[in-house]
Amino acid sequence: MHKYYIFYKPYLTISQFSPEGEKVTLAQHLPGLAKDVYPVGRLDHDSEGLLLLTDDKALTNQLLNPSFAHKRTYYAQVEGAITPEAIARLQNGVTISIDGKQYLTKKAGAVLLPQEPTLPERNPPIRFRKNIPTSWVAITLTEGKNRQVRRMTAAVGFPTLRLVRYSIGAVTIDGLEPGTHRLYNDEVKRLLLD
């Protein structure tokens, strides 16, 4: 029987168990996991949200293989009042730089959220600047280039201030706090690949 953990990765935690300098690792949040349980993909040190950990190698391959194009939704708080034109560009694909090469992102879901999503406070919070508004955008990708959401929002002129992966397929972080997890059975595979 495989194990599936949905973990809310906190800000400034790295997506690995092995130490790296003074950085907080998954081992500090999830002590005692079986040695064959690994994170599927990663979230950057300065990103938060849903991280799947499992010992199911077939599922890991399916989620990481670009040909399966599974959906992942991120909530991005961006600097400035984002425009409909910028949202349209995010939806249609923007050119970003990956390893020094120009890359046109695939079409993505991108919508302006009418209000700030209900998320736990970030610690430390983003720096508040009274004269600069922020916007929240939900971006759904079917690909996963390095720091892709941040590169995309910067490319349309609205840099990301806070980034939270909200869901993979139909599995969300609803009900979780940063640093907590939920254990699932095999049934989660259907939800992840939804």
Choose between 38 and 128: higher pLDDT: 38
Same domain for 84 and 54: no
Report the amino acid identity of residue 167: S
Same domain for 146 and 76: yes
Same domain for 162 and 77: yes
Question: Quick count: other Cβ atoms within 10 Å of Cβ 187?
Answer: 8
Same domain for 52 and 114: no
What's the pLDDT tens digit per position in 15-72?
Answer: 999 999 999 999 999 998 999 999 998 999 999 999 999 999 999 988 988 888 889 9
Say if residue 128's pLDDT is above 80. no
What's the pLDDT tens digit per position in 87-105?
Answer: 999 999 999 999 999 999 9
Say if residue 8's pLDDT is above 90. yes
Q: What is the pLDDT of residue 126?
A: 84
Q: What is the number of structural domains in the chain?
A: 2
44 is catalytic: yes
Mean pLDDT in residue range 163-172: 96
Say if residue 115's pLDDT is above 80. yes
Q: What is the pTM of this model?
A: 0.95
* CATH number of the domain encompassing residue 50: 3.30.70.580
For every residue of the chain, which 3-state class applies, written as one string? CCCEEEEEECCCECCCCCCCCCCECHHHHCCCCCCCCEECCCCCCCCEEEEEEECCHHHHHHHHCHHHCCCEEEEEEEECCCCHHHHHHHHHCCEEEECCEEEECCCCEEEECCCCCCCCCCCCCCCCCCCCCEEEEEEEECCCCCCHHHHHHHHCCCCEEEEEEEEECCEECCCCCCCCEEEECCCHHHHHCC
The Cα 25–Cα 49 span in angstroms is 14
Same domain for 85 and 58: no
Say if residue 2's pLDDT is above 80. yes
Query: What's the mean per-residue pLDDT of the chain?
Result: 94
Choose between 129 and 24: higher pLDDT: 24
Q: What is the pLDDT of residue 85?
A: 97
Q: Domain containing 122: what range?
A: 71-168
Q: What is the pLDDT of residue 127?
A: 79
Task: Indicate which residue of 36, 44, 55, 174 is catalytic.
Answer: 44
Same domain for 102 and 20: no
Q: With CA atoms as reference, report the closest residue to 121 among 8, 31, 23, 44.
A: 8
Same domain for 138 and 94: yes
Q: What is the pLDDT of residue 66?
A: 83
